[in-house]
């Protein structure tokens, strides 16, 4: 049944109208069948084997096909690390003894090839970028650039005042057409965002200035 589900998922990814970028039906299926909540326009995360049940992915995320989210570690302090001890499917454990770890990847996150998100990381903050091959063991701050083994903050994508302005726009809540309209009016917000361009973008989309912090 699991293999059949996987085959169906792959066919739907290829043929569903809108595909993984825009199909709401595909997102509803993954929520219902796999307990994966994937935001609109995000891609690279429609895989029940690489993203465990309970994972939430925000909108506008770019995730490489080789990224893996790990929901739990083998128990180092138990008699054995073998799943016979903690997985009831094998008949020795009366119930699952693995901790429930519902990991969250917020909006506009970019995760490069072969990066691994370990159970110690329960939240990847909005706007973060995780380098290829990084091993993430702890929560990731918003707009942080992470790299290394274990992953550490290399820098932040923008100065604090620009991050504050970007957050105030809440651009990731917009649909594609509205976002395109705002960026056409203020193209510099797309490529060199700062507080001034963020305010003009917000005015172009909503007809009013950015709300005060």
Question: Of 121, 141, 156, which residue constitutes the final position of a domain?
Answer: 156
Q: Do 11 and 66 share a domain, yes or no?
A: yes
pLDDT at 143 over 90: yes
- pLDDT, tens digit (0-9, with 9 covering 90-100), for 167-193: 999 999 999 999 999 999 999 999 999
Torsion of CA 90, 93, 95, 99, to 10 degrees: -90
Q: Do 33 and 65 share a domain, yes or no?
A: yes
How much is the pLDDT for 9? 76
Q: Mean pLDDT lowest for which of 77-81, 169-173, 202-206?
A: 77-81
Q: Do 145 and 53 share a domain, yes or no?
A: yes
Query: What is the average per-residue pLDDT within 124-139?
Result: 98
Number of domains in the chain: 2
- Which of 74, 75, 73, 71 has its CA nearest to residue 56? 71
Percent pLDDT > 90 in the chain is 73
The answer to the question of residue 211 being in a domain is: no
Query: Domain span at residue 180?
Result: 160-206
The answer to the question of residue 83 being in a domain is: yes
Note the Cα 204 to chain centre separation in Å: 28
Q: Do 95 and 177 share a domain, yes or no?
A: no
The answer to the question of residue 13 being in a domain is: yes
Q: What pTM, to 2 d.p., does this model score?
A: 0.89
- Round to whole Å and give the CA distance between 205 and 54: 34
Query: What is the average per-residue pLDDT within 22-31?
Result: 93
Q: Predicted confidence band at 1 (pLDDT cuts at 50, 70, 90)?
A: low
Query: What is the average per-residue pLDDT within 3-25?
Result: 81
Q: Do 66 and 10 share a domain, yes or no?
A: yes
The answer to the question of residue 212 being in a domain is: no
pLDDT at 126 over 90: yes
Query: What is the average per-residue pLDDT within 89-100?
Result: 71
What are 174's two structure tokens? 């917009």
- pLDDT, tens digit (0-9, with 9 covering 90-100), for 39-56: 999 999 999 889 999 999
The answer to the question of residue 11 being in a domain is: yes
How much is the pLDDT for 71? 87
The answer to the question of residue 134 being in a domain is: yes
Query: What is the average per-residue pLDDT within 127-155?
Result: 98
Q: Do 100 and 174 share a domain, yes or no?
A: no
Q: Do 147 and 56 share a domain, yes or no?
A: yes
The answer to the question of residue 213 being in a domain is: no
pLDDT at 213 over 80: no
**Residues annotated catalytic, as ranges:** 74
- Round to whole Å and give the CA distance between 148 and 111: 13
Tell me the residue length of the chain: 213
> Nearest 5°: CA angle at 186, between 185 and 192?
160
Q: Do 12 and 28 share a domain, yes or no?
A: yes
Q: Mean pLDDT lowest for which of 50-54, 109-113, 141-145?
A: 50-54
**92 vs 198 pLDDT, higher one:** 198
Q: Do 166 and 103 share a domain, yes or no?
A: no
Q: Mean pLDDT lowest for which of 23-27, 92-96, 133-137?
A: 92-96
Average pLDDT value over all residues in the chain: 91
Q: Do 58 and 95 share a domain, yes or no?
A: yes
Q: Do 87 and 188 share a domain, yes or no?
A: no
């Amino acid at each position: 049944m699991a293999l059949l589900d996987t085959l169906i998922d792959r066919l739907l990814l290829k043929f569903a109208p809108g595909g993984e970028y825009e199909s709401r039906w595909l997102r509803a299926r993954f929520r219902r069948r796999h307990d994966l909540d994937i935001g609109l326009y995000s891609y690279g995360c429609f895989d029940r084997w690489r993203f465990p049940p309970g994972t939430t992915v925000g909108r506008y995320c770019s995730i490489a096909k080789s990224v893996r989210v790990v929901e739990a570690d083998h128990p180092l302090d138990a008699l054995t690390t073998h799943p016979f001890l903690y997985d009831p499917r094998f008949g020795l454990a009366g119930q699952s003894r693995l901790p429930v770890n519902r990991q969250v990847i917020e909006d506009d996150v970019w995760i490069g090839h072969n990066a691994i998100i370990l159970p110690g990381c329960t939240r990847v903050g909005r706007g973060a970028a995780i380098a290829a091959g990084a091993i993430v063991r702890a929560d990731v701050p918003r707009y942080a650039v992470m790299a290394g083994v274990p992953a550490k903050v290399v820098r932040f994508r923008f100065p604090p005042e620009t991050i504050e302005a970007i957050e105030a726009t809440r651009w990731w809540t917009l649909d594609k057409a509205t976002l395109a309209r705002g960026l056409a009016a203020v193209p510099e917000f797309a490529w060199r965002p700062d507080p001034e361009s963020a305010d003009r973008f917000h005015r172009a989309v909503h007809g009013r200035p950015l709300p005060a912090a």
